[in-house]
């Protein structure tokens, strides 16, 4: 009896450039390698920070575009990335391009796929703040990526509804949860095996105190808004039994203000940006988190950590509605008031720490794999 030839493996081109993208793509890359021919393109939008994540998850890029240069404008970044992706797509001949989230890399990757008439799948699709200037330029990046994509992997039902309201065909939208939870659970499993190493890295911090982890770097907060946040941190650090840990983003607009306002302040630790495993460990050990990061808004609920979101608007309203986070913006008085309420570890803290994570349970990669199998069969 003649054997039926096995179909060739589908060629999947993953395009990403920032650390959050690398975190969210890595577990999916590892899973799909079992059944598909996976090609990895790192644009270099976040050079060192993304490389650390790839090393942690043992993912090696097939293409490295190294597009980032000092003080690069969005014009430069977009043009450089688009031109270099032309050659990547020509050489890799993918059946499908996968982009993630809301970065310039994601938008340009989707645009490059469209120009080359290669189908595009958008991971973490459908997030909306409904304000094109906040977050900037991310809100417009994801809107444009949605129009250019053929498959949409929405993390929540609300994200799916956003896409359908915008005219995206319902048959092309899948609710999968967010792959960041897959990455977090895997990463936490790894770092817990080496507790001593991570505790040693933070030996200057007194973990018998209440730890406030801070991440703040958003472009729309540069200047006065960020100064208000830093003023709130300085006041909170004066409270008894509190220590604040702030990995300072390398952007000069962030670092200059942080050094001027916070450097040398009592109970405030300004440290260098953390690699992914150290950040996971520190989140796990913190009491509360103050952040303007999208990824941390998704991750922290799985660790039972209440959050204050340092943004006026967020495209991750599911967390606000579920009670895992409170939107405080950059209002100094509100930040101080809500942080103190949580640090008292009363009813509000207990309620928020036990709220269900609306962004998934670590099965997003499995659901995306199943959706891709159906897509290629059809």
> Is residue 159's pLDDT more than 80?
yes
**Residue predicted with more confidence, 149 or 313:** 149
Structure-token pair, residue 353: 């720490």
98: DSSP letter: E
Distance CA 293, CA 319 (A): 13
Residue 188 lies in a domain: no
Q: What is the pLDDT of residue 48?
A: 75
Q: What is the pLDDT of residue 4?
A: 44
Residue 244 lies in a domain: yes
Helix 179-191, helix 364-377: angle, nearest 10: 140
Angle at CA of residue 105, ends 100 and 111, nearest 5°: 90
Per-residue confidence band for 227, with pLDDT thresholds at 50, 70 and 90: very high
Residue 48 lies in a domain: yes
Active-site residue, selected from the candidate residues 21, 102, 220, 299: 102
pLDDT one-digit tens code per residue, 243-271: 999 999 988 899 999 999 999 999 999 99
160: DSSP letter: H
pLDDT (average), residues 150-156: 97
Residue 2 lies in a domain: no
Active-site residue, selected from the candidate residues 37, 219, 255, 345: 219
Distance CA 18, CA 21 (A): 5
pLDDT (average), residues 230-248: 96
Structure-token pair, residue 25: 């793509």
Same-domain check for residues 222 and 277: yes
Residue 274: which of 257, 286, 256 has the closest Cα?
286
> Is residue 6's pLDDT more than 60?
no
Per-residue confidence band for 221, with pLDDT thresholds at 50, 70 and 90: confident
**Residue predicted with more confidence, 345 or 46:** 345
Active-site residue, selected from the candidate residues 11, 37, 47, 249: 249
Residue 107: which of 40, 18, 188 has the closest Cα?
18
Same-domain check for residues 32 and 59: yes
Per-residue confidence band for 7, with pLDDT thresholds at 50, 70 and 90: low
- Is 217 a catalytic site residue? yes
Same-domain check for residues 228 and 147: no
Per-residue confidence band for 1, with pLDDT thresholds at 50, 70 and 90: very low
Active-site residue, selected from the candidate residues 31, 46, 142, 217: 217
How far out from the chain centre does Cα 309 lie? 14
Same-domain check for residues 203 and 305: yes
Same-domain check for residues 25 and 125: yes
- Is 139 a catalytic site residue? no
Q: Is the distance from CB of 179 to CB of 24 less than 8 angstroms?
A: yes
Show the DSSP H helices in 121-156 as ranges: 138-148
How far out from the chain centre does Cα 166 lie? 24
Residue 335 lies in a domain: yes
Q: What is the pLDDT of residue 5?
A: 43
Q: Before 135, cis peptide (omega within 30)?
A: yes
pLDDT (average), residues 289-304: 94
Q: What is the pLDDT of residue 50?
A: 81
Same-domain check for residues 161 and 212: no
pLDDT (average), residues 17-45: 95
Show the DSSP H helices in 66-156 as ranges: 74-92, 104-115, 138-148
Residue 325: which of 309, 311, 302 has the closest Cα?
309
Domain count, the chain: 2
What is the overall mean pLDDT for the chain? 94
Distance CA 137, CA 120 (A): 21
> Is residue 45's pLDDT more than 90?
no
How far out from the chain centre does Cα 90 lie? 29
Same-domain check for residues 328 and 367: no
CATH of the domain at 143: 3.40.50.2000
> Is residue 18's pLDDT more than 60?
yes
Distance CA 274, CA 316 (A): 23
Q: Quick one: what percent of the chain has pLDDT higher than 70? A: 98
> Is residue 204's pLDDT more than 70?
yes
Q: pTM for the full model?
A: 0.86
Distance CA 278, CA 196 (A): 12
Residues with Cβ within 8 Å of 360's Cβ and at least 6 positions away in sequence, in order, are: 155, 176, 177, 178, 181, 182
Active-site residue, selected from the candidate residues 19, 46, 124, 311: 124
pLDDT (average), residues 299-317: 94
Active-site residue, selected from the candidate residues 19, 21, 46, 138: 138
For residue 42, the SS3 value is strand
Same-domain check for residues 225 and 274: yes
Same-domain check for residues 339 and 216: yes
Residue 183 lies in a domain: no
pLDDT one-digit tens code per residue, 190-200: 999 988 999 99
Residue 182 lies in a domain: no
Same-domain check for residues 20 and 48: yes
**Residue predicted with more confidence, 1 or 140:** 140
Same-domain check for residues 152 and 211: no
- Is 299 a catalytic site residue? no
For residue 153, the SS3 value is strand
Distance CA 183, CA 24 (A): 6
Structure-token pair, residue 227: 């100064």
Query: Domain residues for 28?
Result: 11-177+363-377
pLDDT (average), residues 327-344: 97
pLDDT one-digit tens code per residue, 90-148: 999 999 999 999 999 999 999 999 999 999 999 999 999 999 998 899 999 999 999 99
- Is 374 a catalytic site residue? no
Residue 227 lies in a domain: yes
Distance CA 125, CA 305 (A): 25
> Is residue 317's pLDDT more than 90?
yes
Same-domain check for residues 149 and 41: yes
């Amino acid at each position: 009896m003649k054997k039926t030839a096995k179909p060739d493996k589908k060629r999947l081109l993953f395009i990403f450039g920032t650390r959050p993208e690398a975190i969210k793509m890595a577990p999916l890359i590892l899973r799909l390698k079992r059944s598909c021919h996976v090609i990895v393109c790192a644009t270099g939008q976040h050079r060192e920070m993304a490389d650390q994540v790839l090393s942690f998850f043992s993912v090696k890029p097939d293409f490295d575009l190294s597009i980032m240069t000092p003080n690069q404008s969005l014009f430069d970044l977009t043009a450089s990335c688009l031109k270099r992706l032309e050659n990547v797509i020509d050489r890799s001949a993918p059946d499908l391009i996968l982009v993630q989230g809301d970065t310039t890399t994601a938008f340009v990757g989707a645009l490059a796929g469209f120009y080359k008439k290669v189908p595009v799948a958008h991971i973490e699709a459908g997030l909306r703040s409904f304000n094109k200037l906040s977050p900037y330029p991310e809100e417009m990046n994801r809107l444009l990526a949605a129009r250019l994509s053929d498959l949409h992997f929405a993390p929540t039902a609300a994200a799916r509804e956003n896409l359908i309201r915008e005219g995206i065909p319902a048959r092309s939208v899948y609710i999968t949860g967010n792959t960041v939870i897959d990455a977090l659970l895997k990463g936490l499993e790894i770092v817990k095996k080496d507790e001593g190493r991570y505790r040693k890295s933070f030996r200057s911090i007194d973990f018998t105190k209440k730890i406030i982890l801070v991440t703040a770097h958003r472009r729309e907060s540069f200047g006065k808004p960020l100064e208000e946040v830093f003023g709130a941190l300085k006041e909170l650090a004066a409270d008894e039994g509190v220590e604040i840990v702030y990995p300072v983003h390398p952007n000069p607009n962030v670092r200059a203000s942080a050094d001027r306002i916070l450097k040398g302040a009592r109970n405030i630790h300004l440290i260098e940006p953390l690699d992914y495993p150290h950040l996971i460990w520190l989140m796990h050990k913190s009491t509360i988190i103050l952040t303007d990061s999208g990824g941390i808004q998704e991750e922290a609920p799985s660790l039972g950590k209440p959050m204050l979101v340092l943004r006026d608007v967020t495209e991750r309203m599911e967390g606000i509605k579920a009670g895992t986070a409170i939107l405080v913006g950059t209002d100094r008085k509100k930040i101080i008031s809500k942080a103190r309420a949580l640090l008292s570890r009363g009813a509000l803290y207990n309620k928020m720490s036990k709220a269900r994570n609306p962004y998934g349970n670590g099965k997003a990669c499995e659901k995306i794999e199943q959706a891709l199998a159906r897509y290629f069969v059809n």
